[in-house]
A = this chain, B = another copy of it.
Amino acid sequence: MTVPEDSLLKFEIPEVIYGIGSLSQIGNCCRRMGGERIFLVTDPGLIAAGWIDASINYLSEEDLQYVVYDNVVTNPRDFQVEQGAELYRRKNCDVIAAVGGGSPIDTAKGIGILTSNHGRIHEYEGANLVTQPIPPLVCAPSTAGTGADVSQFAVIANKRTKEKMTILSRAITPDITLVDPQLLTTKPAELVAATGMDTLTHAIEAFVSSLSWPMTDPHAIHAIELVREHLANATQTKDIEALEGMSIACLEAGMAFSNAILGAVHALAHPLGGLFDIHHGLANSLLLPVVIRENLEHVPAKFAKIARALGAETRTRSIDDVAQEVPHQVEQLIGELELPTRLSQVGVDGADIPRLAQMAEADICMLTNPHCYRQSEIEAMYSEVL
């Protein structure tokens, strides 16, 4: 019986090397992937924190040449990807290494696409449009939020239209991720909090996704349990054990969402990044409670399991009753993290809502949400948290 590939379930992740000091394997890994001239993508913050000097030392120990590309901002832009690809080609690089958060990693993926596929990055927006393998890609994430180091996703902002383009292709899953919790120690508390909420959103959206399956569910639940245990402490104290817990939470959530895809929180968060340049983790955090309240009725049994992973007592209570706890649990966590809770706090005006909702309705992440919301429903959700 021939079965179309699209009807089958997939589970794919990179090779993971985990532990304090694992960044020191970056030269070894680039060498193992066949590299001689490494294209190192990062951002100025990582350079200032000293991680790029360290990375360069590890590359040099393996006698590797390198080119550093750091023209990367939060919500990375199409022209930065194109500029990077041009430099990669001009310098005859052969392996890409990304050291940083989601922005350098997504930029690295975009550069990889353009170096081995034709045309402009805009042509690859959507699912499975990247047909040629990209160069080997080794990542070292510096936040416990992105999941980009394990996922088949890249999100690049269109400078002209200000839309965020979601690129979803197996070809852009990285080859190796070096998860070194030490890289988290140089991030400010509010970034630890916002990226941690990104991890929680990845896990919850993957778990309720219409493409979730028994291989993705345990990763999502484990990530939720770890966020509950470690995020507040990681934010408030930067205790290394808490940062280690969040590193694993991020990995687990990445494995879940890369293979089960995402949902309405991401669909609504992407326009906030594109139009207002709001940090992606913060955008998710602002929208997570209101989207959960709307999603509850569609998959109450799944939300009851999430409530349990977040610490709810579940005995002798109905599924619906337990599921109702999730938005409160999430709001309580956001309160502990002292993150903003209203869109108006981050520069959004009521007049912007129709345009935001129009973009969110068209976002590819809406397709795997338990329910596909229409523009009017989405406007109501944005208004709820204005």
Residues of chain A touching chain B, judged by Cβ–Cβ distance below 8 Å, are: 1-3, 5, 7-13, 15-22, 24-25, 28, 58, 61, 170, 182, 213-215, 218-219, 221-222, 226, 248, 251-252
Which chain B residue has the least Cβ–Cβ distance from A150? Answer: B11
A-B contact pairs, 30 of them (CB 8 A): A1-B20, A1-B21, A1-B182, A2-B24, A2-B58, A2-B61, A3-B19, A3-B20, A3-B22, A3-B24, A5-B17, A5-B25, A5-B28, A7-B19, A9-B17, A9-B18, A10-B17, A10-B18, A11-B13, A11-B16, A13-B13, A16-B215, A18-B213, A214-B226, A214-B248, A215-B248, A215-B252, A218-B219, A218-B221, A218-B222
Which chain B residue has the least Cβ–Cβ distance from A176? Answer: B12
Q: Which residues of B contact A213 (CB under 8 A)?
A: 18
Which chain B residue has the least Cβ–Cβ distance from A223? Answer: B218
| A66 nearest CB across to chain B (Å) | 17
| A253 nearest CB across to chain B (Å) | 12
Q: Which residues of B contact A9 (CB under 8 A)?
A: 17-19
Which chain B residue has the least Cβ–Cβ distance from A177? Answer: B11
Cross-chain contact B11 with A18 (CB below 8 angstroms):
yes
| A139 nearest CB across to chain B (Å) | 14
> Given A218-B218, A222-B218, A252-B215, A3 and B21 touching (CB < 8 A)?
yes
| A21 nearest CB across to chain B (Å) | 3
| A138 nearest CB across to chain B (Å) | 14
Cross-chain contact A2 with B16 (CB below 8 angstroms):
no
> Given A3-B19, A21-B3, A25-B5, A251 and B12 touching (CB < 8 A)?
no
Work out how many copies of this chain go into the complex: 2
Q: Which residues of B contact A252 (CB under 8 A)?
A: 215, 218
Q: Which residues of B contact A251 (CB under 8 A)?
A: 215
**Cα-based distance from A181 to B226 in the complex (angstroms):** 32
| A186 nearest CB across to chain B (Å) | 14
| A117 nearest CB across to chain B (Å) | 16
Cross-chain contact B24 with A17 (CB below 8 angstroms):
no
**Cα-based distance from A1 to B54 in the complex (angstroms):** 9
Partner of A16, one of B10, B58, B248: B10
Further 6 A-B residue pairs, CB within 8 A, beyond A8-B25, A215-B251: A8-B17, A8-B19, A8-B21, A214-B248, A218-B221, A218-B222
| A346 nearest CB across to chain B (Å) | 34
**Cα-based distance from A360 to B224 in the complex (angstroms):** 41
Q: Which residues of B contact A182 (CB under 8 A)?
A: 1
Q: Which residues of B contact A22 (CB under 8 A)?
A: 3, 8
Cross-chain contact A16 with B25 (CB below 8 angstroms):
no
Which chain B residue has the least Cβ–Cβ distance from A29? Answer: B5
| A198 nearest CB across to chain B (Å) | 19
Cross-chain contact A15 with B17 (CB below 8 angstroms):
no
**Cα-based distance from A352 to B222 in the complex (angstroms):** 45
**Cα-based distance from A187 to B10 in the complex (angstroms):** 25
**Cα-based distance from A251 to B28 in the complex (angstroms):** 29
**Cα-based distance from A219 to B248 in the complex (angstroms):** 14
Cross-chain contact B15 with A10 (CB below 8 angstroms):
yes
| A29 nearest CB across to chain B (Å) | 9
| A287 nearest CB across to chain B (Å) | 28
Q: Which residues of B contact A214 (CB under 8 A)?
A: 222, 226, 248
Nearest first, the 8 closest Cβ-Cβ pairs linking A and B are A3-B21, A11-B16, A8-B19, A2-B24, A12-B15, A9-B18, A218-B222, A218-B218
Which chain B residue has the least Cβ–Cβ distance from A1? Answer: B21
Which chain B residue has the least Cβ–Cβ distance from A20? Answer: B3
| A145 nearest CB across to chain B (Å) | 18
